[in-house]
Amino acid sequence: MDEETDKALQLDILAAMLSSDKKQAKEHVETLSNILEATLPEHVKIKRGGMFFSKDRPLEELTVQFDESAYILVVSKKGAVSAKKQKFVRGIALSSADMQVQECIDSIVQHLSETAAKSSAARQALSRFISGNNS
């Protein structure tokens, strides 16, 4: 198995882990936000709740932005996760549509793979994430 196939398999495993248990969706989205913020901060916007200096600042919204689309995962106060996709043209959001959380995560993983294929910096960041070396 070559290195690219191995990385693709690891991304598939990540996607499966993120969608494995809907009861743990909130924790999975939190994990995904931490990973993406550390590895590809230019693609991620995170909104947290709680008081600014509070130790507990729960994730409320994760936005993962790519060239022509953005994926938004929203975590309710009760822990339910919802997802939507926005389509952009020349930096302007033209449409927004709700989508299944699993479909959203699959789309994020697909875009990350495409971004890694286009950019050596993104490929290195994704490689660090896959190997577990996020420093």
Candidate from 7-11, 68-72, 126-130 with smallest mean pLDDT:
7-11
Distance separating alpha carbons of residues 66 and 110, to the nearest angstrom? 11
User: What mean pLDDT comes out for the span 70-86?
Assistant: 90
User: What are 114's two structure tokens?
Assistant: 């495409």
Q: Which of 17-21, 58-62, 101-105 has the highest mean pLDDT?
A: 58-62
Q: What ranges do the domains of the chain cover?
A: 3-129
Tell me which of 77 and 126 has the higher pLDDT: 77
What is the value of pTM for the model shown? 0.69
User: What are 51's two structure tokens?
Assistant: 């008081």
Q: What is the pLDDT of residue 1?
A: 47
**Adjacent-strand bridge partners of 47:** 61
Give the pLDDT band of residue 19 (cuts 50, 70, 90): low
pLDDT at 71 over 80: yes
- Give yes or no for a contact between 70 and 61, defined as CB atoms under 8 angstroms apart: no
